[in-house]
Structure 1
Amino acid sequence: MEQQSKRIAALDLIKGMSVIGMVIIHTLLIYANVKSQSETAIGSFIVFLGRGTSIFLICMGVTFMTSSHQSLASSIKRGGLLLLAALFMNFMKFMIPVIFGFAPDNFIQKYGWHAPIEQQYVYLVLLGDILQLAGMSLLFVGFIRKYVKNKYGILAIGLLIALVSREVSGITIDYPVINYVLDLLFSNDFPAFIYFPVFPWMSFIIIGMFFGKWYLELNYNSKQLFKNMLYVGLLFVALGAPLVFIYGDYHYNRFYHMGPGGVIYFAGWTLIFLWAIFRITANIQENTFIRLLKYCSRNLTSMYMIQWILISWGKGIFGYRQHGIGFVLLLIVFYMILTFLVQFSLDILMKKKPLFFRQRVSADETVLK
């Protein structure tokens, strides 16, 4: 069977949508004032969209299992590259404005730091986002893919990571480099703040791997796969909802560092959402917008880095969290166009087709899966 037949079109579209969504979300978070983020319908909705990280991670897990690059060495190599890319992106986001003198004063001041300025810069460069999570996870999930052959064994590992996540949170020792690795794994907030620690967020990737393995066992029957996602999603929501709403301090814990109940609950809604998107897009014909989303999916890693760097640099021009929702919407359009223009320019420099009219692509053109 050709590799192309293993691809799930709905997942490509969802990953493409995530590129559009992250430009919208990050522009709002950087430029909108507190009132616009929390007291307007549009701002509140965009902030809500920011809770959709689990969608991307489960998609990443599914495609990781169907990738043509199945070796453990490939997974470790890509994980290392993502970690280097994450540090490079943070340097470009935070240090270039400082070096060239266009970083807004109120950005640094908002933290209320009393530490030396050099230590503050190190903190910013080491901040942990989705790239760090993906990179660290790839160092681990390659072993799971290689050595765990039963899909329920894969699922059990994912749920176990969620189960222990709150208990291992905050593990630390007095060695800075090792401490940073522990930060990425368990988030103890020193020497950096990690938005998406491996425990528990890798659980979503492994849950996606469970469905990727199931997809292979179903002989690439995507219709049955998404039906299974619906059933498992309903079960997860039923199990997770009481934990989140009754014991929220432990199981939800402000989203970024959630416990087992939060993981199960959000995974459940994510699986239901994926089923719904599959049903909606099943009969949609290829058109320019669909090709655009597929283009975004193929270039997800680079476009993620481009939009974050551009939006962060713009703080020196437009200010930091100072604007109403109307101006922010204009900035969203501006950064959307600018992100695509930079990506198209990179395509030209790398002698790739710059636009999005390629019909057939390899299943492994992106680093993030």
Structure 2
Amino acid sequence: MEQKSKRIAALDLIKGMSVIGMIIIHTLLIYANVKSQSDTVIGSFIVFLGRGTSIFLICMGITFMTSSHQSLKSSIQRGGLLLLAAFFMNFMKFIIPAVLGFAPDHFIQKYGWHGPIEQQYMYLVMLGDILQLAGISLLFVGFIREYVKNKYGILAIGLLIALVSREVSGINIDYPVVNYISDLFFSNDYPAYIYFPVFPWMSFIIIGMFFGKWFLELNHDSKKLFRNMLYVGLVFIAIGAPLVFLYGEYNYNGFYHMGPGGVIYFAGWTLFFLWAIFRITSNIKENGLIRILKYCSKNLTSMYMIQWILISWGKGIFGYRQNGIGSVLMLILLYIILTFSVQTLLDILQKKKPLISFQRISADETVLK
């Protein structure tokens, strides 16, 4: 029976949707002017979609627990590879356009830089994105999977990280290199802006691990798992909502550096959303769209890097935050086509069957577990 499959088909579809979604979101954020982002219905909706990072992270935690690669060594290796991929992506996104002279002045002026060019380049390479968070998290959650066997113990660790996140935010040891590491974990002060510090964002991955462990205990019963997600999600929303709306300065304080209430609140809505997607997709038969989403899920890491590099390079052609919503919609279509084209080319070079063959796809090989 489908619901007893060791894979959770709905998660593959959700991760596939996230690939399409991130191209849409990043294209808007890079190319749309402020008015198009905030004063149009389409722009506001896409910006709202950009708040769905927790969906991807919880899915990552679930698949991390249910993956065929269960060794601690495998987790550490993949974490290290992701960190290397993150810095390589930043190099390709920022340094190549800057060195070759097709980074727009408007983008450079955004930072108001002063000082040697090497320092500016270092800043760009060290910008902290989702790949840094995923890489660092894999270095730690492998130990949790290896040594914490009770699912409620896993959940307690995730909630504990959320609970202390505001207290440890801003910790900084004034010492070269160590400063950057403390930034990745706790803050966004020096030497680069960290969009997703480990505290609190790793909480979402560990909450996902809790449900991944639960899925195994339920003998791979997806229906029961997502029903449990609904129940836990509603409890999280009930707890998180008053904390966010009544004590928001401490519990929310902005999307990227939220406190404990924000984590619980967003996790609750994420779990509700996952349950809803499962209910919607559980009876859908295999078709072209489903195969495309599975393909995206399988190649999530590489397509994430490809779309960011292409979008960043395009600033020199289309400008940085200077386009209206109509132009942005055309650019979204362009970058979806370009991303799939480059990924297909990589498939051919790696002698893998490209999307057009519509082969049976498994996401077990995805780097981001």
Are the equivalent residues in 2 in contact too, given 1:67–1:363 (CA < 8 A)?
A: no
The number of equivalent residue pairs is 368
The 1:58–1:356 alpha-carbon spacing in structure 2 relative to 1, beyond 3 Å, is farther
Question: After the TM superposition, which of the residue ranges 118-127 and 286-295 deviates more from structure 2?
Answer: 118-127
Amino acid at match of 2:343: Q
Q: State the shift of 1:119 in Å.
A: 1.2
Residue type matched to 1:205 in 2? I
Match of 1:17 in 2: 17
> Quick one: distance in 2 between partners of 1:356 and 1:72?
36
Matches within 5 A, 1:213-252: 213-252=213-252
Change (3 A) 1:162 1:336: same
> Could you say which residue in structure 1 is the equivalent of 2:304?
304
Deviation string, structure 1 residues 35-80 (Cα, Å, up to 9, x no partner): 0000000000000000000000000000000001100000000000
Ranges in structure 1 where 5+ consecutive residues have no aligned partner = none
Q: Which residue of structure 2 lines up, in the alignment, with residue 160 of structure 1?
A: 160
CA distance in 1, matches of 2:291, 2:356: 6
Q: Distance in 1 between matches of 2:169 and 2:120?
A: 23
Q: Equivalents in 2 of 1:175, 1:274: separation in Å?
A: 42
Distance 1:193 1:94 in 2: 14
Residues 204-353 of structure 1: matches in 2 within 5 Å?
A: 204-353=204-353
Hey, what's the Cα distance between the residues in 1 that align with 2:135 and 2:357? 30
* CA deviation profile, 1:185-231 (whole Å, cap 9, x unmatched): 11242011100000000000000000000000000000000000000
Rounded Cα–Cα distance in structure 2 between residues aligned with 1:362 and 1:338: 23
Letter in 2 for 1:318: F
What are the superposed Cα offsets for residues 144-178 of structure 1, whole Å, 9 maximum, x if unpaired? Answer: 00000000000000000000011111111122211
Q: Does 1:75 align with 2:75?
A: yes
The percent identity for this pair of structures is 84
Amino acid at match of 2:16: G
Instruction: Indicate how the Cα distance of structure 1 residues 29 and 363 shifts in structure 2: closer, same or farther if over 3 A, else same.
Output: closer
Contact 2:161 2:199 in 1 (8 A): yes
Measure, in 2, the Cα distance between the counterparts of 1:212 and 1:49.
25
Shift of 1:358: 4.8
Q: Distance in 2 between matches of 1:166 and 1:77?
A: 30
The amino acid across from 1:64 in the alignment is F
- Structure 2 unpaired stretches of 5+: none
Equivalent residue letter for 2:353: K
CA drift at 1:250: 1.0
SS at match of 1:6: coil
Deviation at 1:115, TM superposition (A): 3.3
| Pair 1:84-2:84 in alignment | yes
SS of residue matched to 1:341: helix
Q: Secondary structure at the match of 2:152?
A: helix
Runs of 4+ in 1 over 4 A off after TM superposition: 356-359
Asked if 2 retains the 8 angstrom alpha-carbon contact of 1:295 and 1:356, the reply is: no
Q: Deviations over 1:334-369 (max 9, x none)?
A: 000000000000000000001154554445211001
Separation (CA, whole Å) in 1 of partners of 2:299 and 2:363: 12
Deviation at 1:116, TM superposition (A): 2.8
- Please show how residues 164-179 of structure 1 align to structure 2 within 5 Å: 164-179=164-179
Q: CA deviation at 1:24?
A: 0.2
Give the distance between the partners of 2:203 and 2:112, measured in 1 at CA: 33
Distance 2:188 2:34 in 1: 27
Partner-residue secondary structure (3-state), 2:177:
helix
In the alignment, the residues of structure 1 paired with residue 231 and residue 144 of structure 2 have an alpha-carbon distance, to the nearest angstrom, of: 24
1:182, distance to aligned residue in structure 2 (A): 1.0
The letter of the residue matching 1:225 is L
Paired residues of 1:182 and 1:188 also in contact (CA < 8 A): no
Equivalence for 1:197: 197
Give 2:46's aligned residue.
46
CA distance in 2, matches of 1:45, 1:264: 23
Deviation at 1:181, TM superposition (A): 1.1
Equivalent pair of 1:13/1:290 in contact (CA under 8 Å): yes
Amino acid at match of 1:327: S
Paired residues for 1:5-154 under 5 Å: 5-154=5-154
Structure-2 change in CA distance of 1:302 and 1:70 (3 Å): same
The Cα RMSD (Å) is 1.4
Amino acid at match of 1:296: C
Are the counterparts in 2 of residues 292 and 356 from structure 1 also a CA contact under 8 Å?
no
Describe the superposition over 1:12-52 as per-residue Cα deviations: whole angstroms up to 9, x where unpaired: 00000000000000000000000000000000000000000
Contact 1:253–1:259 under 8 Å retained in 2: yes
Does the CA contact (< 8 Å) of 1:291 and 1:357 recur in 2?
no
User: What is the rounded CA distance, in whole Å, between the counterparts of 2:335 and 2:176 in structure 1?
Assistant: 36
State whether residues 30 and 320 of structure 1, in contact with CA within 8 Å, keep that contact through their aligned partners in structure 2. Answer: yes
Report the TM-score when normalising by structure 1. 0.98
**2-structure distance, mates of 1:332, 1:234:** 34
